[in-house]
């Protein structure tokens, strides 16, 4: 019986995350750069996963939608407390910025929290994955292969085999 309750709790959590992600376009449309405040952002998105202080006084809030969603947002708040920009960061342009030798802290700063981290101890690698949808709205996974010292070795992109479309069933 306990495994049933764990499975039910996991299903409820996943549905809640998907519902929250589905509301993002509405929340974003309610925000206006230069007008909306930090309080407006927090009211619509909640507490950020992470906050970075930029050199110019801007603060960047990370709102991650992994592992169930296919987006991660970085929301910039200017020194005046007003919204500067909302960016969805899981894009081909950002993936192209991830290069061998780059530190994983910089990757996290660029893409936000990953959906999944899979260690391969015998290979001395860790695969860090982000779920996203490509231009044709097909579920994909961007993988950063990390070596010793938390450095990028290479990147890979492929189908998201955990997406419902690939699960089949009756």
Global pTM value: 0.80
With cut-offs at 50, 70 and 90, classify the pLDDT of residue 71: very high
User: Rounded CA gap, 62 and 42, in Å?
Assistant: 11
Q: CB under 8 Å to 162, separation ≥6 — which residues?
A: 131, 141
pLDDT of residue 166: 75
Relative to beta strand 59-64, strand 72-77 is antiparallel
Q: Please, what is the average pLDDT of the chain?
A: 87
pLDDT of residue 25: 76
User: Rounded CA gap, 77 and 94, in Å?
Assistant: 20
- Asked if residues 105 and 52 have their Cβ atoms less than 8 Å apart, the reply is no
Of 18-22, 61-65, 74-78, 161-165, where does mean pLDDT reach its minimum? Answer: 18-22
pLDDT exceeds cutoff 50 at 18: no
What is the mean predicted confidence (pLDDT) over 138-153? Answer: 96
User: Rounded CA gap, 113 and 50, in Å?
Assistant: 9
């Amino acid at each position: 019986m306990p495994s049933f309750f764990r499975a039910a709790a996991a299903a409820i959590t996943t549905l809640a995350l998907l519902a929250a992600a589905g509301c993002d376009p509405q929340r974003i449309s309610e925000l206006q750069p230069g007008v909306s405040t930090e309080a407006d952002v927090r009211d619509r998105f909640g507490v950020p996963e992470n906050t970075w202080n930029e050199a110019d006084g801007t603060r960047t809030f990370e709102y991650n939608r992994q592992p169930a969603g296919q987006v991660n947002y970085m929301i910039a708040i200017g020194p005046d407390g007003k919204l500067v920009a909302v960016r969805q960061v899981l894009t081909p342009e950002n993936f192209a910025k991830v290069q061998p030798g780059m530190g994983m802290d910089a990757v996290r700063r660029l893409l936000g929290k990953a959906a999944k981290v899979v260690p391969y101890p015998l290979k001395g690698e860790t695969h860090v994955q982000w779920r996203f949808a490509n231009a044709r709205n097909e579920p994909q996974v961007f993988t950063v292969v990390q070596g010793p010292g938390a450095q990028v070795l290479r990147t890979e992109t492929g189908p998201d085999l955990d997406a419902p479309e690939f699960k089949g069933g009756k």
